[in-house]
Amino acid sequence: MSTATDTIPTFEQLGLGPALVEALSALGYEEPTPIQRAALPPLLAGKDLLGIAATGTGKTAAFSLPLLQRLTLGGKREPFSTSALVLVPTRELAMQVAEAIHRYGQKLGVSVLPLYGGQPIGQQLRVLKRGVDVVVATPGRALDHLQRQSLLLDSLHTVVLDEADEMLDMGFAEDLEAILEATPEGHQTALFSATLPPRIASIAERHLHQPVHVRIAKEKVAPGTGPRVRQTAYIVPRAFKAATLGRVLDVEAPTAAIVFCRTRTEVDELTVSLNGRGWRAQALHGGMDQTQRDRVLKQFKTHAVELLIATDVAARGLDIEKLSHVVNYDVPNAPEAYVHRIGRTGRAGREGVAITLAEPREHRLLRNIEKLTGQRIEVATVPTVADLRARRLELVRASLREALVAGELDSYRPVVESLASEFDLVDVATAAVKLLHDAQVEGQEHEEEIPMMPPPSEKPARPGKNARMAERAERFRPGERPAPGAQKGPKRRTGPSQDFDMARIFIGVGRQAGVRPADLVGAIAGEAGVEGRRIGAIDIGDNYSLVEVPESLADQIISALKQATLRGKKVQVRRDRG
């Protein structure tokens, strides 16, 4: 009788060569995933491919293995040339993909180079001068090298766009178009994206030649064998979010968790707060250099750190095994971002937990997420002080039971026996429990109750006057028309923002320096950790730019951009004075 596994082809049957099959076997790969089964044959045959698949489905191997098999190795590499170019949204993903390609092709003698911002340009130039088989790059840095002519595409035979929807959300659309226009005719193109918005479809139509379409839906698995994620939300006022997070973490007691925040300032403040509460927490955001990032990730992967507090951009591409919890400190505006985040836990049959802290006004965002996922998010009550005390006593009881099972208590027995002659034995044990409990909660003795917020009514109320005025203001936001006397420059408009209170910031660089809307969106997203969709109108003049941002984030964005560079130099950044 055949089983389900009998029908799954091997990597060799899909057309992969012996050297790569051997490399996969050495790395512990047993059978191809659905995206690999669908993508390997057409890519190995040299066809273009449009793949819709979420993070964590194995798509890195799906495009890397055919890319490696089609390389012509052994000949002399031309200076500054490359045979394959992989474009990814973030430096973390660039490093991860480059490392994976290196592992797959190590025995083939393949040279792989990741290119991303924040890395010394001189070091990149020295490696590129020798010629590289595969370049894995962020769009901005790839375009920079193309313009310097330190990256030549004359010998290019494969281009891969990974996480294409994320690259567009981060403002890289124009960079991608410029790079794809510079590629030679006859090359193979593979585009992978978690979703297929119109902009992705448009790029595919222009730059892919008769592509094979592959769409991998969420795989249905037998109960108890697939991803299992318990999804819970707590409705709390913003002023109590940090206290709520600490309370929930104390009750949940995660072994390894990522806490997602919107901004780097929030990341830093929360990291300090949680460390003060006794957790081993580390921050990860765009304001850190690569050495700092590598150290933090190593500590997290080796469990020297329990909590990783990160922005979406900084955590993009991270693949952490045995992640027990994912926490959304803020509700993501895009339901897809929520799906990407919680997909990091509950893998390989283990149970995962997704926790979201929502302000009362964000309750509708939870409903949007439920519509997308088809799964219910339980709105729970914040644990009370009594709940927390009960949980701590439960942990003390578990610790004592482990000690009793482990034995080796003889050296402590005389103390207990001497006290037992004077006090009741149960009282002696109770005092020991009290001391252990007090030692665990030292510094947290004065817990206060967190206000309970009843979930808003599911039935949407008719907008009041203030809401209608806000909606009207959103249609005619400041910045849609240039300031009096200003020359019209490139303008970028986003979709409807969730932030009705917008501020306009002045950035002292403009058209004459070659600045484009994508540069400004990328800088704000990368340096301040702000999602591109939250950025409003952009007006670019000859020597300055005006950008609309949420009022609540304006000072943070200004502070982040003052520390960064645009077009290679520091620029003046401040609130617009009109």
* Count of CA atoms in the C-beta half-sphere (13 A) of 274: 30
197, 165 in Cβ contact below 8 A? yes
- Of 173, 172, 169, 161, the closest CA to residue 48 belongs to 161
**Which residues on adjacent β-strands are paired with residue 85?**
135, 159
- Of 63, 98, 21, the closest CA to residue 214 belongs to 63
Q: Can you say whether residue 197 is alpha, beta or left, with left for phi > 0 and alpha for psi between -120 and 50 degrees?
A: beta
- Of 524, 529, 532, the closest CA to residue 170 belongs to 532
Is residue 285 helix, strand or coil? coil
For residue 222, give both structure tokens.
Answer: 């037998």
Spell 415-433 as b/e; 16+ CB within 10 A means b.
eeeebeeeeeeeebeeebe
% of the chain surpassing 90 pLDDT = 26
Count of other CB atoms within 10 angstroms of residue 443: 8
Choose between 174 and 439: higher pLDDT: 174
174, 516 in Cβ contact below 8 A? yes
465, 524 in Cβ contact below 8 A? no
Lowest mean pLDDT among 83-87, 140-144, 475-479: 475-479
Residue 347 banded pLDDT, cuts 50, 70, 90: low
Residue 496 banded pLDDT, cuts 50, 70, 90: very low
- CA dist 219 and 245 (Å) reads 32
Q: What is the pLDDT of residue 207?
A: 94
- CA dist 269 and 283 (Å) reads 9
Alpha carbon of residue 353 to chain centroid: 17
Choose between 25 and 466: higher pLDDT: 25
Q: What average pLDDT does the segment 259-273 reach? A: 87
Give the DSSP letter of residue 262.
Answer: S
Residue 301 banded pLDDT, cuts 50, 70, 90: confident
Count of other CB atoms within 10 angstroms of residue 51: 27
- CA dist 190 and 161 (Å) reads 6
Residue with tokens 């301040």: 528
Spell 11-40 as b/e; 16+ CB within 10 A means b.
beebbbeeebbebbeeeebeebbbbbbbbb
Model confidence pTM above 0.75: no
* Count of CA atoms in the C-beta half-sphere (13 A) of 316: 26
Choose between 461 and 528: higher pLDDT: 528
pLDDT tens string 410-456:
888 888 888 888 888 888 888 888 887 777 655 555 566 776 665 54
| pLDDT over 90 at 213, yes or no | yes
- Of 74, 244, 255, 85, the closest CA to residue 160 belongs to 85
DSSP assignments along 382-426, one per residue: PPPHHHHHHHHHHHHHHHHHHHHHH---GGGHHHHHHHHTTS-HH
- Of 507, 541, 508, 501, the closest CA to residue 524 belongs to 507
Domains annotated for the chain, with CATH where assigned, are 4-215 (3.40.50.300), 228-384 (3.40.50.300), 487-575 (3.30.70.330)
Strands (E), 285-404: 307-311, 325-328, 351-358, 378-380
pLDDT tens string 44-56:
999 999 999 876 5
Residue with tokens 């001391």: 435
- The DSSP H or E segment spanning 473 is helix 465-475
For residue 571, give both structure tokens.
Answer: 């620029």
- Of 102, 155, 154, 112, the closest CA to residue 135 belongs to 112
Q: What is the pLDDT of residue 446?
A: 57
The amino acid present at 50, given as its one-letter code, is L
**Could you tell me which residues come within 8 angstroms of residue 311 by beta carbon, excluding any fewer than 6 positions away?**
260, 261, 262, 263, 264, 267, 284, 285, 286, 529
Residue with tokens 């409990």: 437
Lowest mean pLDDT among 182-191, 320-329, 467-476, 549-558: 467-476
